[in-house]
Amino acid sequence: MSHITYPEFVAAIDTSGLTCPLPLLRTKKALQTVESGQVLKVLTTDPSAVGDFQAFAKQTGHIILLQAPVTEGMVHFIQKR
């Protein structure tokens, strides 16, 4: 059984129960509070969040370090550009 090592992060937000576009809007706001190169951890339960975050990263230049399923939904680690 493989073990996932999560990236270090400086801030975390929980958007569980929220649907598109709210997880993305909360993420954009949270990214404004961290420095370039720092990592934000985001917890989501919206199934469309995986694709939404990938498109967001492509448009903004932020880097998705990891998207992984967790018991509560999905966890996303986004490094600010």
Active site residues: 20
Pairwise CA distance, residues 5 & 11, whole Å: 17
- The structure tokens 């958007």 sit at 15
Q: Number of C-alpha atoms within 13 angstroms, CB side, residue 2?
A: 4
Residue 61, SS3? coil
